[in-house]
Amino acid sequence: MCGLSTIIRDFVRRHGLHVVSDGDLDGIFASGLLLRVLGFEGDLEGVVEFPHPLSLSGLRVSSSILIELPLSKGLVYCGENILIDHHPEPPRVELYRDENCVESVVVGGAESVASVVYMIFRDVLELSDTALKILRAIDNIDQGRHPDKLSVDLHNAFSLNKRDDGMRYMLVRAILEDRWGSIIRWAEAESRRFEEQVPIKIEELIGRAQRLTGNVVYFTYDFDDNVEAAAMTNAMISLEDKYDIVIAIATKNNKPISARIATKKDIDLLPVFEKLREQGINAGGRKNVGGAQFGDIATLDETIRILEKAIKNTLTDKNNG
């Protein structure tokens, strides 16, 4: 991967170091690894940003390394930017000039964007066994797997704190300073707090599920309620065992703002995201999970009609094919 590392280093020499990243766990760890391998020291403010998902539509970025923030999320690329992403597949690094991709290199075998960064720089990234164990857990979480305690603890800890940008910068700083043990201790403590508060809320969200169409259900949750936000993913996972597609709609002041769409079945959700984009909704993801941002849509009823239309059209197209 020395060619890719050279492309990235040359980009930083031309433009300086500025990272704009998705704020999920693998985006956070990818950002930390990238800053570490590029020798960054100092104040993180202004060097790495985790924009709020609701701010992505129309967000102009330039001279930046973008992590999991493709054009499909509504950003506007200006000048030169580098995108590091792994969904939709394949995992890749792309160089953009304005909104034109001028170079794309696949990074085979990566299961998270953090792994993409690690594989590019693995010859110079000296990581401890603890660090590698954490990266394997990040892969598991990003693929929807929770096979061990560390994966569960990290998932729970992030879920309970995902509205807190301070948590993101704390984790990046720990990666820069090689304090991987502190990450595990934080995850364990926050996971215990999760277990005390979230299970009851998971059952409440499951009880809110309503049929959208066919064997597809949705529920709503309060975007500003940290416990409801933490319970959302687990409620979806439980419902996915019973239903073909599950949708969690986030509301803010009773207004729908975003949705997460997921399935455990052999259903390709990519056409759903395409149908949503045809209706003017910012949407994207990978085959089994993704999201949508609703912008100025005023009512929950209208949002539900848009989601129902996209899913019905997708399933109809599949059946006709």
Domain boundaries, the chain: 2-145, 208-320
Residue recorded with tokens 């409620």: 235
pLDDT of residue 317: 63
Q: What ranges in the chain are assigned the alpha helix state H?
A: 2-15, 25-37, 113-121, 129-142, 149-161, 165-176, 180-207, 226-240, 270-278, 300-320
Q: Which amino acid is at 175?
A: I
pLDDT of residue 320: 55
CA distances from 162 to 61, 70, 94, 170, 225 (A): 23, 21, 28, 12, 11
pLDDT of residue 318: 59
Cβ neighbours of residue 60 closer than 8 Å, sequence gap 6 or more? 75, 76, 78
β pairing state of 19-21 and 255-262: unpaired
CATH of domain 208-320: 3.10.310.30
**Tokens at 319, concatenated:** 């059946």
**Tokens at 232, concatenated:** 């959302």
The answer to whether 80 and 63 have CB atoms below 8 angstroms apart is yes
pLDDT of residue 319: 58
CA 159 to chain centre: 12
What is the C-alpha to C-alpha distance for residues 137 and 157, in angstroms, rounded to an integer?
13
20: left (phi over 0), alpha (psi -120 to 50) or beta: beta
pLDDT of residue 150: 98
79: left (phi over 0), alpha (psi -120 to 50) or beta: left
Q: Which pTM does this prediction carry?
A: 0.78
What is the C-alpha to C-alpha distance for residues 28 and 30, in angstroms, rounded to an integer?
5
Query: Which positions of the chain have pLDDT values less than 50?
Result: none
What is the C-alpha to C-alpha distance for residues 69 and 304, in angstroms, rounded to an integer?
26
What is the C-alpha to C-alpha distance for residues 299 and 256, in angstroms, rounded to an integer?
7
β pairing state of 19-21 and 48-49: parallel
82: left (phi over 0), alpha (psi -120 to 50) or beta: beta
The answer to whether 262 and 246 have CB atoms below 8 angstroms apart is yes
77 secondary structure, DSSP code: E
**Tokens at 126, concatenated:** 């000296």
pLDDT of residue 88: 77
Of 285, 292, 293, the closest CA to residue 87 belongs to 285
SS3 content of the chain, % helix, strand, coil (to 5): 50, 25, 30
pLDDT of residue 321: 54
